[in-house]
Amino acid sequence: MELNIHRLESGAGADALDMRLIRAIQGGLPLVPRPYAEIATRLGLDERQVIERITRLQGMGIIKRFGVVVRHHELGFRFNAMVVWDIPDHRIGRVGRCIGQYDFVTLCYQRPRRLPHWRYNLFSMIHGRDRDEVIANVQRVVEECALQEIAHELLFSRRRFKQRGARYDAPSDPLPAPAPWRGVCGG
Partner 1 sequence: MHRHRTPAPPPAHTFSALEKRLLNEFQHGFPLDAEPFREIGRRLGVSEEQVLTALGRLHREGAISRVGPVLKPNRVGVSTLAAMAVPPGELERVAALVSARPEVNHNYERLHRFNLWFVVTASDTQHLDAVLDGISRECGLPVMDLPMVEDYFIDLGFDLKWN
Exposure pattern of 25-36 as b/e (b: 16+ CB <10 Å)?
bbbbbbeeeebb
Exactly one of 41, 59, 101, 130 binds partner 1 (CB under 8 A); that residue is 101
Exactly one of 90, 148, 160, 171 binds partner 1 (CB under 8 A); that residue is 160
**What character string, x for contact with partner 1 (CB under 8 A) and - otherwise, covers 133-152?**
--------------------
Q: Is 99 in the site for partner 1 (CB under 8 A)?
A: yes
Interacting residues with partner 1 between 106 and 125 (CB under 8 A): 106-112, 114, 117-118, 122-123
Cβ nearer to partner 1, comparing 174 with 183: 183
Q: Is 171 in the site for partner 1 (CB under 8 A)?
A: no
167 backbone dihedrals φ, ψ, rounded to 5°: -125, 150
Interacting residues with partner 1 between 10 and 69 (CB under 8 A): 11-12, 14, 19, 22, 25-29, 31-37, 47, 51, 54-55, 57, 61-69
Q: What is the DSSP letter of 149?
A: T
Cα 137 from Cα 128, distance rounded (Å): 8
DSSP reduced 3-state for 54: helix
| CA-to-CA separations, 4 to 21, 53, 170, in angstroms, rounded | 15, 19, 9
**Site size toward partner 1, by CB under 8 A:** 90
Exactly one of 42, 142, 168, 175 binds partner 1 (CB under 8 A); that residue is 168
Q: Is 166 in the site for partner 1 (CB under 8 A)?
A: yes
Nearest distance from C-beta of residue 157 to partner 1, angstroms? 5
Exposure pattern of 56-78 as b/e (b: 16+ CB <10 Å)?
ebeeeeebeeeeeeeebbeeebe
